[in-house]
Each structure stands twice: as C-alpha cells, then as structure tokens.
Amino acid sequence: MTKIADSTVRRLSLYLSYLEGVEREGRDTISSAELAGLGGTTSAQVRKDLSLFGSFGKRGLGYSVEELARHLRDILGLERTYRVAVVGAGKLGSALAQYRAFGDRGFAIVSVYDSDPERIGKRWNGLQIKDTALLDEDLRSSGLDIAILTTPPEVAQAEADRLVRGGVKGIMNFTSVRLEVPEHVAVKNVNMALELQALSYALRHAHGGEI
C-alpha cells in the first residue's frame, strides 16, 4: 500500500472519534458532508481520505456508521490491545499512566518505571512503580508494544536503547531529546513547550483559528 500522509492518519482518528459519538446516539448512516462538519474539513477531503483504503460508502446513502467505524479501527490498528509502559514516573508520567482515554482505546498501561528510589514502590490506581533496573528482565519475560518516555533528557536515549533492545516497536517521546532508533522503530515526538510556542506565534501574528 502506498505511503499515507501523517495528516491523513490524524484525520482518520478524528473521524473515528466522531463516528463513535454518532454511534452512541444510535444513528445508522452518515454522509461525508456531516463527518466533515464535525471534523472541520470538507466532504471531498473525507471521501478522498477514505478512498485511499477502499470504498466503504453507498452512493446516494452515505456510510454505515458502525461499519465505517470498524473499518477505521482496523486501518488504525485499534482492533487489538497494546501493552504499554510508562518510563519515567514524574508528574507527566504519572498523569499519562492514569489517563483514561488510553485504556478506553485499547492502550493498556501495564507498568510504570522510574529509577528514583523515592518513587519506586509507590502505587497509583493499582500500578506500582518499578525500578527501571527491572526493565530488561520484564521486557524479556512479558514483552511490550509501546513505551511512553517521560524521563529527564539525560537518560532518555539510554532508556530508549534499552526499550528497543527489548523489542519495543513504538515510542511516544515526551522528552526534548531527538531519539536515535533503528529504522523499524516508530517514534512519535510530543513536545508541549513547542505546542505553546506555536500558539505564541499565532498570538503574535494575530492569526486566530485552529493550529
């Protein structure tokens, strides 16, 4: 399959969340125009995005809400459950480990690691913070799909290396470090300070609207 743009994938995620809302209301079908309205895009964009993966709609009718949601979950790889660990149990790691929206979407936080003896052993919502030293062992015995990395920058690369050696295939990187990883590992960088700076730019230059 031809390479899909990141912007497209993000829109597909949005479509899915709108579909789930509509599904809860008991609606059966939805048009590309309505989906576009909810997502702040155009009907042509919606149809084009979906057509990259197949033809899921019925001309004259629209899309079956339930069927399209299923297709999108399949496309996005959300039919399965992912085993996720949080590495770095600071404020942000703590918040993310307990973030409901992750579990709801099939991302199960199975453990939290930190190297600070002050933190090790503490419990949050039934998750006990483990010593990072146990990470290699745990990766070997139980495996992990995704890691959420929220360590201090100094140790970020070392922890990433360890995770990759242990077979992790995706890293959501909240540190300010640009991680070096092998080709087959996906890294999603999330940089809150950068987001605020983009907002700052918009204020300074008097653009309103969504960024």
Partner DNA sequence: GGATGTGAATGTCTTCACAGCT
Partner DNA sequence: AGCTGTGAAGACATTCACATCC
Q: Decide if residue 158 touches DNA (CB under 7 A).
A: no
Nearest C-alpha neighbor of 82 from the set 108, 51, 117: 108
For the CA atoms of the chain, what is the radius of gyration?
20
Contact 43, 50 (CB under 8 A): no
HSE value, Cβ hemisphere, 13 Å, CA-based, for 34 = 14
Minimum CB distance to DNA, residue 191 (Å): 17
Q: How many CB atoms lie within 10 A of CB 84?
A: 23
Please state, in angstroms and as integers, the Cα–Cα distance from residue 112 to each residue in 10, 69, 137, 166, following that order.
27, 31, 14, 16
* Three-state DSSP state, 45: helix
Q: Decide if residue 139 touches a second copy (CB under 8 A).
A: no
Size of the site for DNA (CB under 7 A): 24
Q: Which residues in 28-87 contact a second copy (CB under 8 A)?
A: 38-40, 75-78, 82
Minimum CB distance to a second copy, residue 60 (Å): 28
Q: Decide if residue 96 touches a second copy (CB under 8 A).
A: yes
Minimum CB distance to a second copy, residue 131 (Å): 22
The torsion angle over the Cα atoms of residues 36, 42, 46 and 51, rounded to 10 degrees, is: 160
Q: Which of 15, 18, 19, 57 binds DNA (CB under 7 A)?
A: 57
Q: Decide if residue 110 touches a second copy (CB under 8 A).
A: no
Q: Which of 15, 18, 63, 113 binds DNA (CB under 7 A)?
A: 63
Minimum CB distance to a second copy, residue 14 (Å): 7
Q: Decide if residue 197 touches DNA (CB under 7 A).
A: no
Please state, in angstroms and as integers, the Cα–Cα distance from residue 79 to each residue in 19, 83, 88, 143, 185, following that order.
16, 13, 28, 19, 21
Q: Which of 56, 70, 152, 187 binds DNA (CB under 7 A)?
A: 56
Minimum CB distance to a second copy, residue 32 (Å): 17
Interface contacts to DNA, rule CB under 7 A: 5, 7-8, 31-33, 41-45, 47-48, 50-51, 55-63
